[in-house]
Every structure is written in structure tokens, then in C-alpha cells.
Amino acid sequence: MNIHVAEPHRPDTLARLTDRRLFRELAYVDGKWTSGPNGASFTVTDPATGDVVANVAELGAVDAESAIDAAWLAFPSWRDKTAGERSQVLRRWHDLIVAARFDLAVLMVREQGKPLAEALGEIDYAASFVERFGEEARRLNVESVTSHLPGAEMSVRREPLGVVAVVTPWNFPSAMLTRKVAAALAAGCTVVAHPASETPLSALALAELADRAGLPAGVLNIVTGPAAEIVGAFTADARVRAVSFTGSTEIGRLIAANSAPTIKRLVLELGGHAPFIVFDDA
């Protein structure tokens, strides 16, 4: 009889990375790896053992504003690229994610706690979003619409909004990031992103690969640190035209309320729809 033994969480897991440059502890702002004010950092721990996995840069509201500045300045040139040019960058990002599949899964195992097989599956899932939206970038066509007026022609043209804020949860740290970011980039938007503080390493590794793929500085920014300060800065700034958030209903309400004064577009995937039952024999 064959018995499958789950892979243990080992302190040397990070040493298994074939590309150690994917292990990033600094935030990514305007194409640069950025430390927190006065070197401030927060710890990321292995949920299975409690071991410290990394000390990640702890940025704040001022740094979030710097990331918005960078995204705002990068927007015109990214918007003006052809659909084919944006598609090519996303294709290269996809290919690099696939090539780094094992390393990205190892990082996820350590910070998020999924078994390796589940983490590998999520990396495949994450890569599929980049591939899909890279292809969709070429199909943002003008559409004709039947006019309600005689002798008139009408058309619908899709244009990028501008800076988009992305806030991702801990449970799918790679797939939720690529699903949101790749769609925004394909449309010609620039992004400021805040990953969950429990799982920032996956987002930072993906930013490293995006940089290698040729994504221009400022187009994607990963701002790590306390959610209240960073996401608060995102929602308060009028230059951020849309917010995409996956998380709790409670936080979703706050984001919606804080976004109201600047009339942001919101994409909210909120909790409360998936009850979890634990039986006595668990």
C-alpha cells in the first residue's frame, strides 16, 4: 500500500529557492525596492510553526501617496501604448510566472500555509489570469450601437480609468493579485496594490517578475504595511479612480464609505457567503 506523507514545513524551505531574488522583503514603488521609514518592518510568520519567515518593509500613508504619485505619472505613457505592446508585456510576465512556478509555490507554502500541491495549483491559476487578460488587451475594440435617432451612428469606446487601487486577501495571495492587476494593466490603467500583511511575499515576488517582463516603473506598485494607513490613503486620493477589494464585509463597508467623497468605482468581493462548520471529530 502506498502512503502519501505531506511535506513538512521546514525552516530551510527558503533555501530551496532556485532564484533567491524572488524573496523580497522591501516594497516595490516606482520601479524601486523601497524600505520603510527609518527601516521600519513587520514580521511574516509561518502559520504552521510560528517561525519568522521574513521582515517586510512597513510603509505608511506618506509612502502610499508616493506610490500614487508614481502610478499617476506613469499612467499617460502606459495608456498610450498600443494594445499589442501591453499584451506583449503581460505575455512575458505570464511566461516568467510559469517558469518560476515552483519557487513561487515554496514562498506561498511558507507564508500562507497551503500544502505544496495546493500552492502549485494556485500559481497555475494565477498565471492563467495574466495569460487571459494579456489576450483580452488586444480585443478592447470600439463597438457600434444601434442609434435611437434616425440617421445617426453611435459607438462605444472603452478607455482606461487611470490609477486603480488593488487590495488582496491572505487566502489566495497570488491568484487574487494577478486577477485584479492583469485586468487593470490590460485596459491601460496603472496600479497601486496592498497585499495582506500575512502574505506579502507572493505579491513582491510577482512584482519582481513583472519588472523583469519589462513593465515600466510606476505602472505597478506594491505597498506593504498597515492596511488602515495605506488603504486609507488609496481611498482618500482623488487620483485613484477605482478600488478592487476582496475581503470581509466589514472592511468593504469602510472602503465604500471612504471612497464616496471622490466617487470611485468599486469592485468588492466580500465575505459572509461561505459559512464554515467544524464538527466535534475534527
The CATH number for 92's domain is: 3.40.605.10
CB 163 within 8 A of CB 78: no
Question: Residues of the chain with pLDDT > 70: what percent?
Answer: 94
Residue 226's region, left for phi above 0, alpha for psi from -120 to 50, else beta, is beta
Q: Is residue 30 part of a domain?
A: yes
Q: Is residue 11 part of a domain?
A: no
Q: Is residue 15 part of a domain?
A: no
Report, in this order, helix, strand and coil percent for the chain, each rounded to 5. 45, 20, 35
Q: What pLDDT is attached to residue 4?
A: 34
> Total structural domains in the chain?
1
Q: Is residue 61 part of a domain?
A: yes
Residues whose CB falls within 8 Å of the CB of residue 3, separated by 6 or more in sequence, listed in order? none
Q: What pLDDT is attached to residue 139?
A: 82
Residue 258's region, left for phi above 0, alpha for psi from -120 to 50, else beta, is alpha
Average pLDDT rounded to a whole number, residues 209-214: 98
The pTM for the full model equals: 0.89
Average pLDDT rounded to a whole number, residues 55-76: 97
Average pLDDT rounded to a whole number, residues 241-251: 95
Q: List Cα–Cα distances, 251 to 34, 95, 255, in angstroms.
A: 27, 34, 6
Average pLDDT rounded to a whole number, residues 183-203: 97
Whether 12 has a pLDDT exceeding 80, the answer reads no
Q: Is residue 276 part of a domain?
A: no
Task: List beta partners, residue 34.
Answer: 27
Ranges 36-45, 87-96, 136-145, 235-244: which has the least confidence: 136-145
Q: Is residue 247 part of a domain?
A: yes
Q: Is residue 82 part of a domain?
A: yes
Helical H runs in 8-100?
A: 61-80, 83-99
Q: Which residues form the domain of 58? A: 23-270
Q: Is residue 16 part of a domain?
A: no
